[in-house]
Structure 1
Amino acid sequence: MITYDRLFIGGTWTEPSAPELRDILSPHDESLVGRAAQARPDDVDRAVAVARAAFDEGTWPNTPPSERIAVLRRLNALREARAEQIAAVITAENGSAGWFTRAGQPSLTRQAHAYLKAAEELAWEETLTPTDPAATVRSVVRREPIGVVAAVIPWNSPFSASLAKIIPALLAGNTVILKVSPENSLSMGLLADLLAECGLPAGTISVLPADRETSEHLVSHPDVDKIAFTGSTGAGRRIASIAGQQLKRVSLELGGKSAAIVLPDADLAKFTAGLAFSCLLNNGEACIAQTRILAPRSRYEEVVDAVKQVVETLKVGDPQDPDTFIGPMIRRDQQQRVRDYIATGIEEGARLVTGGPQVPAGLERGYYVSPTVFADVDNAMRIAQEEIFGPVLVVIAYEDEDDAVRIANDSEYGLSGGVWSADERHALAVARRIRTGTVTINVAPVGFDGPFGGFKASGIGREYGFAGLNTYLEYKTVTL
């Protein structure tokens, strides 16, 4: 059993204001995985105070970028050395299948390398050439850190979400308070251990597992200069309102209800081979999951049958079993939420192809949901419009290409999406018409050099690479 009985504040493990430890239970069988201290508002105040002092009076904001890059490169190396342990702990506390947590480790390296490359290539200070040759004024443009950053992340993919924020924030010279979900107290304790080793100055970063009330205390704190949030659209709206009142900088990566458009010429064998990875990764608890499958009317039943066959072959069960593809939901309330959506789909008149609201046989203990496919779905149904965050897919028919694009765009969300076609150039043309931040063609993996983020209610701002680094910088112009 893993125990973290202290909080990581400003680079030091310190006594929490409340001594009670939270039990971290396995979503698989509800056994005790570990215990961890939880932050309260008083702990947030301490973390913000040391971050404020470290930014205003410390060395990190004025450390040369090359030295900051070296520290974050060291952090990445430390994480790589403990990749297997990190994957195992996330599987134990989150219920994410082992294949997913292990496969995610190289992705974390690619994500880090993209940020490091952007920092190395960024012109941190440059003198602009006047547009008028006769001008007597020169402009020096500097990229400077914003200040104290509150980074708030969800539970579904803790290392990816946390590093996507703290690496660019620290590279830019900011100080950071990372607020994590209570469910991830153990894996984020491991992250804090790595942060303690990598060489950051005192006060530069804190890692606080805490509930929503404490999270709101953090984002509302007057000494926080920027909020970086990943989570639900509802919570994002609340955070945006707080940021607006206080004129804080804010970036939001929110929910999704992404569409996978299967064009008439698509190779169904290739589509089914990639379907689980694009539509049901991380037990369906993924904001980028393409949970709306749009199929041409001419091949509709063929696509429905193909989706059914794939879903029914996926093993559901113990996430530590290497053969398991889909594990449990994170908590009992999330399990019930997904089952309620499945019942809603039936009530709305959708055709249940496979799965259903019942718990999978033999998995009554833990927080399991039957992977479910609905056909004959109207895009106006709740199961087609609302983010379920579980292993539930809907197959929607379209008449022609214009109709497919219309349905894909008929959503308040715009985070991800996919196009399947035998003609890559044609698929790219369709992708250009979809109002969403990321589009994959034939299950190409998401890259980390390009920006990642959402249109519409899926967020504000971008992560990864140069765009993600730029999110944590202020521009200053000095004229000479």
Structure 2
Amino acid sequence: MTDGALSSHDRLYIGGEWVVPAGDDRIPVISPVSEEVIASVPAGTRADIDRAVTAAHEALVANPWASTTLEDRIALVERLRDLLVKHSEELAQVITEEMGCPISQSRAIQVVNPVRILEGYVEAATRYPFRSVRRSEHGQALVLREPVGVVAAVVPWNVPLSLTIQKLVPALLTGCTIVLKPSPETPLDAYVVARLLDEAGCPPGVVNIVPADRDVSEYLIGHPGVAKVTFTGSSAAGRRIAEVCGKDLRRVTLELGGKSAAVVLPDADLDLTVEALRLGSFRNNGQICTLKTRLVVPAELQDEFVDRLGDLLDSMVVGDPRDAATHIGPLVSERQRTRVEGYIATGLAEGGRLAHGGGRPDIDRGWFVEPTVFADVDPNATIAQQEIFGPVVAVIPYANEDEAITIANNSTYGLNGAVFTTDVERGVEVARRLETGTVELNGNSAGFQAPMGGVKYSGLGREFGPEGLDPFVELKSIGIPPAIADALA
């Protein structure tokens, strides 16, 4: 790592400068491995938010960023991409130190996906109809898609770099400016991003980064200078953000929790299925909202499936995430481990059969939990209904296909899902019946050009592809004379 990426920071990135914060409070960054403070950053105040929003507004209007060409905005984003690639090892190590993701996954996923997300948005922007002409017998219109304004982005701790890029890049490409609020658990990678934006030549005030606690975060999302909020996090927090934004009819995109079901059909290749769940259910130590945590399997295959899943977990190394041989590291915080262990206890109390794990590994320090499998889980049990956010899955048996789909749809969430079968056409038909925003067939990802988002309590709006640019623009229709319609098209 370079430039003291794991060092403490004393300033905030506002208006293209590293400025002294208004207050003296600090946010400690605690290693989930050593349980010790490894760095600290300033805790932004309401005054810092005011300053950041003002800087973003001035960059939007006075400079003005909003009137730059798409080509110029793409050029900035592509310079950022090149720097993300150049500093990928530094970023991977920072993320592993901050939140405990195994370094192999930080290198292969945590710092690779942001580049893929960025490139997907650039591709979408090149085809996006920022300006078009619509004709009818009743009139002609020049239809413009203009920047919505200052964006507030609130990023969680589990995939901090991916979600920073997921919110930052569409804002930049559409001509918006942004105030980014990283999670208190993982602010250090955001400081690296700020440094790289500076190096990429980002104009002052276009991007502002202010770590802050919950109270100051709520002040940001309700700030009168903010036109749009984009948030990823829990459904409970999302409902509160929607409430705050609703008071002022502020635009909002919410990517929230999930309790995704993998429907294993009777003809599924169990070797392929179980291997797909290695990352599909347990990557990032089980701390991903799209993971398949309800495994809906034919009753006659449950025992074999659970045995195979147990063999997989036995082969996975639980340990220090800085070791390249580790597959599962610690949870992000002591609070998170307490939460996960509480769900394990509830699963046992409600009659779930503990088939694997359930305790703590024999490791002296760190917030570790064994990867855990419950079998014979009632579809209405707490561990089958609530998002645990740890390496815990519930295997739910079914008697027929209709029951499997009923079980999968028996959730207040609808973010992701999966179908496993050797009959692809049948798999697509089952996928169409699932009440969820995305379905992965036999472990195949939808990529970063297709819209991603949830139904039910899993969110509002979509990210990725042209649909991911839509929330960052406002539509304007200008009636024009027929004679100039062709020239403006």
**Contact persistence 1:59–1:201 (CA under 8 A):** no
Give 3-state SS (helix, strand or coil) of 1:150's partner. strand
After superposition, residues 123-138 of structure 1 pair within 5 angstroms as 123-130=129-136, 132=137, 135=138, 137-138=139-140
Give 3-state SS (helix, strand or coil) of 1:293's partner. strand
Please report how far the alpha carbon of residue 20 of structure 1 lies from its aligned counterpart in structure 2 after TM superposition: 4.0
Q: Residues of 1 paired with 2:53 and 2:155: CA distance?
A: 17
Name which of structure 1's ranges 155-164 and 266-275 shifts more when overlaid on structure 2. 266-275
Q: Which residue of 2 aligns with 1:170?
A: 172
Q: Which residue of 1 aligns with 2:438?
A: 438
Does residue 110 in structure 1 map to residue 112 in structure 2? no
Give 3-state SS (helix, strand or coil) of 1:324's partner. coil
Give 3-state SS (helix, strand or coil) of 1:438's partner. coil
**Structure 1 gap ranges (5+):** none
Please report how far the alpha carbon of residue 476 of structure 1 lies from its aligned counterpart in structure 2 after TM superposition: 0.5
Does residue 66 in structure 1 map to residue 71 in structure 2? yes
Q: Residues of 1 paired with 2:171 and 2:470: CA distance?
A: 9
**Contact persistence 1:22–1:35 (CA under 8 A):** yes
Q: TM-score, normalised by structure 1?
A: 0.97
Q: Residues of 1 paired with 2:181 and 2:141: CA distance?
A: 38
Does residue 86 in structure 1 map to residue 83 in structure 2? no
Q: Which residue of 2 aligns with 1:321?
A: 323
Q: Which deviations, in whole Å up to 9, do the C-alpha atoms of 1:205-259 show, x marking residues without a partner? A: 1111111111001001111110100000000000001111111000000000000
Q: Which residue of 2 aligns with 1:34?
A: 39
Q: Residues of 1 paired with 2:356 and 2:458: CA distance?
A: 29
Give 3-state SS (helix, strand or coil) of 1:183's partner. coil
Does residue 401 in structure 1 map to residue 401 in structure 2? yes
Q: Which residue of 1 aligns with 2:276?
A: 274
**Structure 2 gap ranges (5+):** 1-5, 481-489
Q: Which residue of 1 aligns with 2:147?
A: 145
After superposition, residues 169-318 of structure 1 pair within 5 angstroms as 169-318=171-320
Q: Residues of 1 paired with 2:105 and 2:469: CA distance?
A: 26
Two-structure CA RMSD over aligned residues (Å):
1.1
Give 3-state SS (helix, strand or coil) of 2:394's partner. strand
Q: Which deviations, in whole Å up to 9, do the C-alpha atoms of 1:35-73 show, x marking residues without a partner? A: 222211111111011112222322100111111111111
Q: Which residue of 1 aligns with 2:411?
A: 411
Give 3-state SS (helix, strand or coil) of 2:354's partner. strand
Give 3-state SS (helix, strand or coil) of 2:476's partner. strand
Give 3-state SS (helix, strand or coil) of 1:154's partner. coil
Q: Which deviations, in whole Å up to 9, do the C-alpha atoms of 1:182-211 show, x marking residues without a partner? A: 111211110111111222221111111111
Does residue 98 in structure 1 map to residue 103 in structure 2? yes
Q: Residues of 1 paired with 2:366 and 2:15: CA distance?
A: 36
Q: Which residue of 2 aligns with 1:360?
A: 361
Q: Residues of 1 paired with 2:417 and 2:70: CA distance?
A: 36
The one of 8, 11, 15 aligned to 2:16: 11
- % of aligned pairs identical? 45
Q: What amino acid sits opposite 2:299 in the alignment? A: R
**Contact persistence 2:58–2:64 (CA under 8 A):** no
Does residue 370 in structure 1 map to residue 370 in structure 2? yes
Q: Which residue of 2 aligns with 1:459?
A: 459
Q: Which residue of 1 aligns with 2:332?
A: 330
Q: What amino acid sits opposite 1:94 in the alignment? A: M
Q: Residues of 2 paired with 1:39 and 1:424: CA distance?
A: 51
Q: Residues of 2 paired with 1:18 and 1:96: CA distance?
A: 31
Q: Residues of 2 paired with 1:270 and 1:254: CA distance?
A: 29
Please report how far the alpha carbon of residue 330 of structure 1 lies from its aligned counterpart in structure 2 after TM superposition: 0.5
**Contact persistence 1:296–1:397 (CA under 8 A):** yes
Q: Residues of 1 paired with 2:372 and 2:275: CA distance?
A: 18
Please report how far the alpha carbon of residue 10 of structure 1 lies from its aligned counterpart in structure 2 after TM superposition: 2.1
Q: TM-score, normalised by structure 2?
A: 0.95
Q: What amino acid sits opposite 1:198 in the alignment? A: A
Q: Which deviations, in whole Å up to 9, do the C-alpha atoms of 1:382-422 show, x marking residues without a partner? A: 00000000000100001111111111010000000111111
Q: Residues of 2 paired with 1:78 and 1:470: CA distance?
A: 27
Q: What amino acid sits opposite 1:190 in the alignment? A: V
**Contact persistence 1:11–1:195 (CA under 8 A):** no
The one of 331, 338, 341 aligned to 1:339: 341
Q: Residues of 2 paired with 1:40 and 1:366: CA distance?
A: 31
Give 3-state SS (helix, strand or coil) of 1:395's partner. strand
Q: Which deviations, in whole Å up to 9, do the C-alpha atoms of 1:410-451 show, x marking residues without a partner? A: 000000011111111111111111010111111112400100
Q: Residues of 1 paired with 2:364 and 2:132: CA distance?
A: 62
Q: Which residue of 2 aligns with 1:424?
A: 424
Q: Which residue of 1 aligns with 2:26?
A: 21
Please report how far the alpha carbon of residue 299 of structure 1 lies from its aligned counterpart in structure 2 after TM superposition: 1.1
**Contact persistence 2:147–2:174 (CA under 8 A):** yes
Q: Which residue of 1 aligns with 2:472?
A: 472
**Contact persistence 2:151–2:227 (CA under 8 A):** yes
**Contact persistence 1:7–1:38 (CA under 8 A):** no
Please report how far the alpha carbon of residue 129 of structure 1 lies from its aligned counterpart in structure 2 after TM superposition: 2.6
Q: Residues of 2 paired with 1:21 and 1:299: CA distance?
A: 53
Name which of structure 1's ranges 51-60 and 8-17 shifts more when overlaid on structure 2. 51-60
Q: What amino acid sits opposite 2:135 in the alignment? A: T
Q: Which deviations, in whole Å up to 9, do the C-alpha atoms of 1:312-367 show, x marking residues without a partner? A: 221111001111111001010101110111001000010011111x3211x23111
Q: Residues of 1 paired with 2:458 and 2:180: CA distance?
A: 21
Q: Which residue of 1 aligns with 2:3?
A: none
Q: Residues of 2 paired with 1:183 and 1:191: CA distance?
A: 16
**Contact persistence 1:96–1:327 (CA under 8 A):** yes
Q: Which deviations, in whole Å up to 9, do the C-alpha atoms of 1:456-477 show, x marking residues without a partner? A: 1000000111111112111110
Structure 1 outlier segments of 4+, above 6 Å: none
Q: What amino acid sits opposite 2:213 in the alignment? A: D
Give 3-state SS (helix, strand or coil) of 1:184's partner. coil
**Contact persistence 2:60–2:66 (CA under 8 A):** yes
